[in-house]
């Protein structure tokens, strides 16, 4: 079923790419749906981590664990919401198809499909890590022109919300927390649309960078905040790692039980941190053809129990992806 669904979607968007994609993005369809940077959601829902243009595995997840269509078509969208934590493009070869599919699903099911902003939903990043080259090659466009699909999609990215709170107890974000984020409400200080310019003297930019690029410490024995040297190509001074103590204090201050995030590659598809108070989930298998990790999604039940669902790597995920010069982020183990 999902094969035929994808064929229909591909025909609609790519044979009308100049009209379909650009018109949707320029209509501010995503911004009109989301009024605040933090959205409130109810369980049950499925949570997806990094996809990175791995459309093959995204469709395999839909096939294996049901997807966002009606139950009479084999899906579960009428009973389960879907939340995607960002990093839809770059690295993989089908970022354009992936983000168009997710946008189409958001249009069709605006109250059940939710897209957060990730660290690669940033034109300064995806101009380097593959998405710009992909748009230029597939759409034969000059990505530097303001009328290009590449620019229109990035304009839409600037409207995406930064976080979601599930049943007032679980915070879902792309990256994490930082010194500029002490309360969930801090995320709502960021006005939209907003570009990440890395001018950290501006409070909004500090919050944005903390939320999209921060990581939990590699070892649970590490306390407090420390500069995140793995992200030094983005910023040398303003991206942080945070310890278990920081996480525990944040949860207590905000009356939360858990943070769910994407951003990093979890070697087992899922990684737990801080006495299981933070979960990292990765939804692309065998990341960049290098890590042999399974892909995972999280199902948050009505009871707020977290149930991971995995698919193992297959040969087709990264077969047509060109190896790029940009270094890969080491996985969490």
Active site members: 120
User: Are the beta carbons of 206 and 176 closer than 8 angstroms?
Assistant: no
**Would you give the DSSP letter of residue 332?**
B
Number of CB atoms found within 10 A of residue 320's CB: 10
Backbone angles phi, psi at 94, to 5 degrees: -125, 45
Query: What residues does 114 pair with on adjacent strands?
Result: 83
**Would you give the DSSP letter of residue 238?**
S
* Separation between Cα atoms, residue 15 and residue 204, nearest integer Å: 39
* Separation between Cα atoms, residue 47 and residue 114, nearest integer Å: 10
Contacts made by residues 325-331, CB under 8 angstroms, sequence distance 24+: 326/128, 326/129, 327/233, 328/265, 328/287, 328/288, 328/290, 328/291, 329/230, 329/264, 329/265, 330/230, 330/265, 331/264, 331/265, 331/266, 331/267, 331/287, 331/291, 331/293
Size of the chain in residues:
333
- Name residue, tokens 């999902």: 2
What is the three-class DSSP state of 135?
A: helix
């Amino acid at each position: 079923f999902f094969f035929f669904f994808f064929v229909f979607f591909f025909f609609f968007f790519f044979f009308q790419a100049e009209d379909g994609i650009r018109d949707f993005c320029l209509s501010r369809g995503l911004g009109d749906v989301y009024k605040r940077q933090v959205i409130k959601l109810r369980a049950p829902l499925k949570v997806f981590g990094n996809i990175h243009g791995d459309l093959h595995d995204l469709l395999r997840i839909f096939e294996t664990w049901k997807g966002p269509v009606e139950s009479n078509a084999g899906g579960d969208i009428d009973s389960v919401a879907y939340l995607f934590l960002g990093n839809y493009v770059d690295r993989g070869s089908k970022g354009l198809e992936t983000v168009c599919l997710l946008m189409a699903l958001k249009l069709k099911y605006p109250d059940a499909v939710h897209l957060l902003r990730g660290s690669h939903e940033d034109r300064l990043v995806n101009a380097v890590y593959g998405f710009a080259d992909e748009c230029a090659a597939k759409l034969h466009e000059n990505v530097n022109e303001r009328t290009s699909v590449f620019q229109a999609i990035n304009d839409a990215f600037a409207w995406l919300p930064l976080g979601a709170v599930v049943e007032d107890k679980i915070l879902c974000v792309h990256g994490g927390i930082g010194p500029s984020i002490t309360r969930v409400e801090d995320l709502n200080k960021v006005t939209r649309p907003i570009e990440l310019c890395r001018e950290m003297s501006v409070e909004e930019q500090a919050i944005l960078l903390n939320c999209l690029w921060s990581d939990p410490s590699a070892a649970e024995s590490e306390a407090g905040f420390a500069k995140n040297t793995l992200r030094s190509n983005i910023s040398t001074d303003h991206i942080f790692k945070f310890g278990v103590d920081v996480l525990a204090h944040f949860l207590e201050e905000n009356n939360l039980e858990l943070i769910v995030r994407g951003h990093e590659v979890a070697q087992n598809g899922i990684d737990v941190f801080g006495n299981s108070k933070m979960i990292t989930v990765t939804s692309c298998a065998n990341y960049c053809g290098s890590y042999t990790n399974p892909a995972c999604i999280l199902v948050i039940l009505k009871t707020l129990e977290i149930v991971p669902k995995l698919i193992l790597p297959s040969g087709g995920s990264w077969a047509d992806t060109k190896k790029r010069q940009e270094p890969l982020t080491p996985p969490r183990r």
